[in-house]
């Protein structure tokens, strides 16, 4: 069954690169500053108040963001499909609907506002592993370990490659856009099972290099052509001609949940089996 492109084709879905760039911006705005007001619009943390604490640092972890304070408290957030942290100055009008605001971290000069966050927690910094311990090495983090990620990928042997690539316990960061683009560049159909991969390490290295190129944020580019409409090989391009061979790009659902659309060029990414023969 083919699904409409509208499910996830906004191109701004938060993946590890977006999260990384967001954390850098938040760190620049908040680190070393005293929180003058906090507001957590999540029932469980509605009474939490971090005012008076100093923001120590803001760090990305896969698709998660941690704002750590000198009071050994961490504000953990996950952007989900379309969440975002906006930065404002006092008196600015905030973007979006006020109902969608989940968290506010205010300092004298800058105000960070979390809109549409999928998740927001306030916890002891020492408790972070309980929330994030399941994550594999972070593609853009200091803990990156290509050999370990390859081991985890191979261990998910019976699964389809497209599923395994966005499993955050294999590696933290990649989402829908990257799995389609990486599979295209590797010339494999994402429905191939991991066991049949000729070069799992090559796929892991490809993911790393593509995400590194985009860690600065902004529009995601995998093609070397940053012009609008030319940035991606297959993602979001159903029915349009492949940039290499001209065949119409196809899409299908892969994995659970909304927005799990995958894209392939049927010619450049031979169906299961053919890739192996072609690759020897």
User: Which residues contribute to the site for Zn ion (CB under 5 A)?
Assistant: 242, 244-245, 247, 265, 267-268
CB nearer to Zn ion: pick between 206 and 242: 242
Buried b (16+ CB within 10 A) or exposed e, 216-229: eeeebbbeeeeeee
Give the angle subtended at the CA of 268 by the CAs of 179 and 167, to the nearest 5°: 15
CB nearer to Zn ion: pick between 34 and 272: 272
Helices (H), the chain: 16-30, 128-132, 146-155, 161-165, 176-186, 200-213, 274-279
User: Shortest approach of Zn ion to residue 2 CB, angstroms?
Assistant: 18
Which of the 8 DSSP states describes residue 269?
S
User: Shortest approach of Zn ion to residue 240 CB, angstroms?
Assistant: 11
CB nearer to Zn ion: pick between 129 and 246: 246
CB nearer to Zn ion: pick between 37 and 267: 267
User: Shortest approach of Zn ion to residue 269 CB, angstroms?
Assistant: 7
The secondary element (H helix, E strand) that includes residue 57 is strand 55-61
Question: What span, in angstroms and rounded, lies between the C-alpha atoms of 111 and 102?
Answer: 13
How many angstroms separate the Cα of 18 from the Cα of each of 81, 113, 178, 187, 243?
A: 11, 16, 12, 25, 25
CB nearer to Zn ion: pick between 50 and 242: 242
CB nearer to Zn ion: pick between 185 and 265: 265
User: Shortest approach of Zn ion to residue 192 CB, angstroms?
Assistant: 16
How many angstroms separate the Cα of 229 from the Cα of each of 13, 97, 170, 219, 275?
A: 16, 29, 31, 10, 28
User: Shortest approach of Zn ion to residue 39 CB, angstroms?
Assistant: 50
Which of the 8 DSSP states describes residue 54?
B
User: Shortest approach of Zn ion to residue 20 CB, angstroms?
Assistant: 30
**Residue 30 C-alpha from the chain's centroid:** 22
CB nearer to Zn ion: pick between 178 and 184: 184
Helix (H, G, I), strand (E, B) or coil at 276: helix
User: Shortest approach of Zn ion to residue 222 CB, angstroms?
Assistant: 14
The secondary element (H helix, E strand) that includes residue 264 is strand 261-264
């Amino acid at each position: 069954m083919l699904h409409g492109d509208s499910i996830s084709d906004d191109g701004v879905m938060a993946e590890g690169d977006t999260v990384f760039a967001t954390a850098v911006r938040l760190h620049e705005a908040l680190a070393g500053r005293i929180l003058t007001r906090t507001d957590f619009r999540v029932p469980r943390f509605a009474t939490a108040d971090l005012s008076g604490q100093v923001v120590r640092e803001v760090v990305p972890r896969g698709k998660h963001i941690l704002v750590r304070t000198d009071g050994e408290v961490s504000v953990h957030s996950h952007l989900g499909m379309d969440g975002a942290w906006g930065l404002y100055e006092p008196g600015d009008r905030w973007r979006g609907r006020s109902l969608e605001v989940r968290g506010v971290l205010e300092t004298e000069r800058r105000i960070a506002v979390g809109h549409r966050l999928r998740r927001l927690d306030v916890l002891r910094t020492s408790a972070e592993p309980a929330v994030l311990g399941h994550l594999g090495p972070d593609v853009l983090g200091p803990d990156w370990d290509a050999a370990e990620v390859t081991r985890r990928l191979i261990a998910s042997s019976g699964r389809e490659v497209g599923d395994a690539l966005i499993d955050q316990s294999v590696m933290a960061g990649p989402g829908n856009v990257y799995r389609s683009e990486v599979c295209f560049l590797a010339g494999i159909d994402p429905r191939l099972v991991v066991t049949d991969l000729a070069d799992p390490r090559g796929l892991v290295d490809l993911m790393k290099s593509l995400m590194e190129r985009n860690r600065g944020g902004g529009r995601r580019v995998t093609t070397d052509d940053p012009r609008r409409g030319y940035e991606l090989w297959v993602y979001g391009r159903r029915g349009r001609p492949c940039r290499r061979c001209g065949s119409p790009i196809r899409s299908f659902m892969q994995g659970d949940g909304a927005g799990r659309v995958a894209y392939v060029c049927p010619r450049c990414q031979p169906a299961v089996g053919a890739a192996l023969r072609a690759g020897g």
